[in-house]
Amino acid sequence: MKDGFIRVAAVSPALRVADCAQNAQNIIHAMREYAEKDVQLLVFPELCLTGYTCGDLFLQATLLRGALAALHAVVDASAELDMVVVVGLPARVDGELYNCAALISGGKLLGLVPKRYLPNYAEFYEMRHFTPAPAQPWRRTALEDGTPIIFGAAMLFSCHAASAAETPQPGAQVFTLGVEVCEDLWAPVPPSCAHALAGATVIVNLSASDETVGKAEYRRELVRGQSARLLCAYVYADAGHGESTTDMTFSGHDLIAENGAILAESAPFGAGAAVTEIDVDRLMQERMRNTTFAADGKLAASYFVSDFALAQKSLALTRAVSPAPFVPRDAAERTARCELILRIQAEGLARRMEHTNAKCGVLGISGGLDSCLALLVAVRACEVLGRPASDITAITMPCFGTTRRTRSNAELLCEALGVRFLEIDITATVRQHFVDIGQDAETYDVTFENAQARVRTLELMDYANRTGGFVIGTGDLSELALGWATYNGDHMSMYGVNAGVPKTLVRHIVRTVADSTANEALSRVLLDILDTPVSPELLPADGAENNAQQTEKLVGPYELHDFFLYYVLRYGFAPRKIYRLAKVAFAGKYDDDTLLAWLKNFYKRFFAQQFKRSCLPDGPKVGSVTLSPRGDWRMPSDASAALWLAELEQLFP
């Protein structure tokens, strides 16, 4: 459970209908197998000790005694294992027969949770045999053999971090488990809703969902949706091979979801096991941030909470960690997202142009990625308004570092898009400015660089004033995070269309346009812009027209900084955990020292540059991670990074 990760599994073992002893042995074998794989939460299907398809055999005392004996065998086997196990069985409690989930850990039966909603339609006849969970939330009672139990639907199971032999200690809670059984999830208000409001962060579902056409997709969306709605992890174990096929088939479709994402899944009629790590810290962060998710103290007071302890383990993560968390992996989804972002940007800009009655939009075009995207957005905004693309004026402002390639691409892009193109050479203005402030024109320092950026912004602002337009900003989210912008230079505009778009996504948006446009000239120039190294072009190029500056060599790879940014802002993860995730995501591409060096660099720049973000111009939010000082990110401009850097120094001096 180090860094909040715990390995969980949903397993559908082979079974023999009504052979409780054999089923128990299959389950015990699986327990030992998955314990060796460091699984600490293991969930089996509904009625797995008997089989779901026993029919009227559920009313036979022999089967019920067999199920009880099988339960004790599983409980005894758990004593040697560091895991909590959830199995399904029929249990007679106080004279009534219930479809139950048994929670087991450390050689103890922690509790018995009865199914609340019994299907009694189509192929299901559970009310013929079972009684729904009683209205009483929970009670202390005993099984037929005298074994004392806690029984009820309002039960939670609290995991504490400890060695397997230790008694759980208050304050060391790792996660809280809630249980529902199959049809409970299909109900209009599933029991898991109350479990989550009472404190459960992980929900398990023991199921015997038969397979019919289209049901797998529906089942998947139910699990995914419930995990998103409750900001929880959801572990779903489904009945599989061995159930009777008299009237139904069961596919062992096991699923593990976390906050709306399927982390692991067994294909129907496949291996019958889903294994991955869930991130409990991430779930707690989500709940802390989400003010509509309010814990219900009164409801929680009606629950019985059973404690158990699990050892802390440092797991080699098997769950996927995307190196590009802002960018969907699926090509179709990625294209759809890029198109949606373009629409959001264009609609935002169109509304601002309409509101200000701007005669034109003005932007600086460099031949680089960010200004390219801003220009694409500006043209689309004109389409929204029913105005010609020529209402946009793109100004290139060559100076000491401008190369022929970027200058040419800027002009070709404007020609392909049909916007008005203007060149203002700022070299003489900058040289005069150097004279005014006493700057040596041969000293290539920060003044040399920033003076050019500020003069460019001055030209844009004043040209916009003269023509009745306003300046469209081009800087992206990644540059804002790192402060890679000149204060009151390219940092400033009248509307920043790219302010919510990270650099890794800028590239994909431009690529999407290049791949989808019917304009061959536009596609060619966009592809060449994508192939051009990112550079501010503020230092003189060499004789071969090579950029003297490449941004990623100066501030670090944007793919790393976007990765860091995502986990810092979206989940508030600690540096130690972000470093660990980065090692998984970028394994084989960056060594540990490189990752650590750029992570330290990120924190230093992120904290030091907040003053630039505190006075940002307006711009549209496009995703869950933004840095607008009026919206999602409000931070003092003089906050210290000491705690974050100290954590990295302590772990990796």
| 436 C-beta neighbours (distance < 10 Å), count | 9
Nearest to 164 by CA among 108, 102, 87, 112: 108
Give bridge partners of residue 234 from the DSSP assignment: 203, 257
Q: Rounded to whole angstroms, what are the CA distances from 488 to 352, 372, 451? A: 21, 21, 10
Our CA dihedral for 182, 187, 192, 198, rounded to 10 degrees, sits at -150
Euclidean distance between CA atoms 474 and 338, whole angstroms: 17
Pair of tokens at residue 149: 């139990």
For the question of residue 552 being annotated catalytic, the response is: no
Question: Of residues 159, 182, 193, 232, which has the active-site annotation?
Answer: 182
* Half-sphere exposure (Cβ direction) of 414: Cα atoms closer than 13 Å: 25
Contact predicate 192/201, CB 8 Å: no
- Sequence length of the chain is 653
The number of angstroms, rounded, from the C-alpha of 210 to the middle of its chain's C-alpha atoms is 31
Task: Tell me which H or E stretch contains 160.
Answer: strand 155-161
Asked whether 15 and 58 are in contact (CB, 8 A), the reply is: no
Q: What secondary structure, in 3-state letters, does 6-17 show?
A: EEEEEECCCCCC
CA-wise closest residue to 217 among 253, 248, 168, 183: 253
Separation in Å, CA 593 to CA 103, 134, 568, 589: 44, 58, 20, 12
* Residue 313 is among the residues annotated as catalytic for this protein: no
399 among known catalytic residues: no
Q: Which two tokens stand for residue 153?
A: 């639907």
Determine the Cα–Cα distance for residues 613 and 608; give it in Å rounded to an integer.
11
Structure tokens given for 190: 């599933």
CB contact burial 368-386 (16+ within 10 A = b; e otherwise): bbbbbbbbbbbbbbbebee
- Main-chain phi, psi angles of 355, to 5 degrees: -65, -40
Token duo for residue 141: 């009672």
Pairing between strand 420-423 and 392-396? parallel
Report the side by side order of strands in the sheet with 155-161: 261-265, 255-258, 233-238, 202-207, 173-181, 155-161, 304-310
Which tokens in the block code for residue 569? 């802002």
Alpha helices by DSSP H, listed for 164-279, are 183-186, 191-197, 215-229
Residue 626, CB half-sphere, CA atoms under 13 Å: how many? Answer: 18
User: Which one of the listed residues 20, 48, 54, 115 is annotated catalytic?
Assistant: 115
Catalytic residue annotation: 46, 115, 182
